[in-house]
Chain A
């Protein structure tokens, strides 16, 4: 099949074409900044509106998205995002407000944020919630800042170590590194749980706490979770929960009840904010009673109680030992909070529980169908995802080949090569939104690909062959970091 290449918008540009005519300026002109701060030219493309529309329409048809097919990208929770969320976040009352408006004029927004805080507290079992963090890793950073502030206020300054299992998301050690703390890696045991012996050896009075994802990235619920929490608390540490995998727990287990002190939510995973392509995320953080006074400010609170006839007045409050602001304004309001609020409201308590039960059921169904074909190194009842090995005895086929071949069957590949503790990892998270027919088609494709690996391995080595573009040269892309379409002034390629 011939490769269809769409030129870049700069290559489509032709001098003199234009899409809009700018009106004459109706404000007084002001002096330009000093010359040193100005660039000598700004090579913007010149096109008519129709050329721009066709270019981007064509590019969008190259995309694969949740709206076009199954997207089992492990640990990303690529569920279908209901379209009603798109309606509500565009309500004019939300859309045309500004964060600097007087609070009396944005009571609806504040009421929604207040209720969202309350709902997330109820779902997670925590005593307080901030909606500010921009996304998951920012939420982690916020949480770890609060843990540090807690120890500091108590004068407990020896604590500099964070315990992080080897199955953790890479953002955990990164967030800890941002604060200058050191990371102690805790291995997993043969059942995919935290290795208790290693944990015991690491627990001492220099431990800030532990960052644990439960279920972890193997899709395993830690069978010793209460012991793990107690061991960390007994040495004076705090428990951080990475909420990336909360989709397995809604209405069933509350991290606050398990003894966690702090956890971030990924609204863009669990609560159906569309993600991919870089955003937007939304990473609220919930905390236990021990940490409520450290929450970022401001939080939304009731500043004047209402009664039967008048609604309460919502406004902003500052916790006593607040770590301060984590973001200008109040978090990702429309794109994150309004969509997730809608999603939670549409499901209600029983519906949320259904989400997790179906997510777990779907993952276990796929695991059961693939168990005889692919090696599953931690093979027990999984939660919302599972990890299998993308390699076969006596074959040079790797996980990457299997993933690329899946594209020929019109599926988005699973997460590759993560977690690092599984050889040639393929991490599969179907989510609750897929029906049995889709799951069966996906399992059938993977079983067929395993057969092809034996009989026609070149089909895998050369995959994908039915997509607009063939296999990308990932090595070249990583080694030659030239991304722009024209070279900046003075930039020397050699």
Chain B
């Protein structure tokens, strides 16, 4: 399991980059979901989001799940190409598969990488 240490993580498995405002789903999340076949970003550029608001919907061959904003702020960018390449979420969850960027974001309830790893470990049993 990959958990870059510069990122913050939520209990619902989103990551948040405090430096760039980028948001995505964690490596743990993509491996639990298995092959992701559909993704839809539910917010537009310029929209204000609150922490915990649903910002995307992701479907795999196993399940579908909502992705929530890990931080509050203004949506400054949306990864428009992602919906045409949902498999990127499996292959590069922390890179090319960023979903949106939140500007001036104040993070909601987030963990650092070490805490998140522990949290995932606890859930595997």
Contact = CB atoms under 8 A, between A and B. Distances in A.
A453 to B, nearest CB: 18
B86 interface: yes
Interface in B38-91: 38, 59, 61-63, 86-87
Interface residues of B, number: 11
Interface string A401-429: 00000000000000011101001000000
A479 B86 contact: yes
Contact of B63 (A398, A417, A478, A479): A417
Nearest to B38: A478
A437 interface: no
Nearest to A416: B62
A420 B62 CA distance: 9
B63 A475 contact: no
B35 interface: yes
Contacts of B38: 478-479
Interface core residue of A416, A417, A423, A475 (most chain B CB under 10 Å): A475
A418 B124 CA distance: 16
A418 B35 CA distance: 16
Contacts of A416: 62
Interface residues of A, number: 10
B37 interface: yes
A474 interface: yes
Nearest to A391: B124
Given A423-B124, A479-B86, A417 B62 contact: yes
A416 B124 CA distance: 18
B63 A474 contact: no
Contacts of B87: 479
Nearest to A425: B62
A478 B37 contact: yes
Interface string A462-477: 0000000000001100
Given A479-B37, A479-B86, A474 B124 contact: no
B33 to A, nearest CB: 10
B85 to A, nearest CB: 10
A398 B124 CA distance: 14
Contacts of A474: 35, 61
Interface in A442-475: 474-475
A312 B101 CA distance: 70
Nearest to B86: A479
A420 B37 CA distance: 18
A479 B63 CA distance: 14
A479 B35 CA distance: 10
B63 A420 contact: yes
Contacts of A423: 124
A445 B38 CA distance: 35
A475 B38 CA distance: 10
A206 to B, nearest CB: 17
Interface string A80-109: 000000000000000000000000000000
A182 B2 CA distance: 34
Contacts of A478: 35, 37-38, 59, 61
Interface core residue of A398, A416, A417 (most chain B CB under 10 Å): A417
21 contacts: A398-B34, A416-B62, A417-B62, A417-B63, A418-B63, A420-B63, A423-B124, A474-B35, A474-B61, A475-B35, A475-B37, A475-B61, A478-B35, A478-B37, A478-B38, A478-B59, A478-B61, A479-B37, A479-B38, A479-B86, A479-B87
Shortest Cβ-Cβ A-B pairs, 6 listed = A478-B37, A417-B62, A475-B35, A474-B61, A479-B37, A420-B63
Given A398-B34, A418-B63, 13 more contacts: A416-B62, A417-B62, A474-B35, A474-B61, A475-B35, A478-B37, A478-B38, A478-B59, A478-B61, A479-B37, A479-B38, A479-B86, A479-B87
Interface of B: 34-35, 37-38, 59, 61-63, 86-87, 124
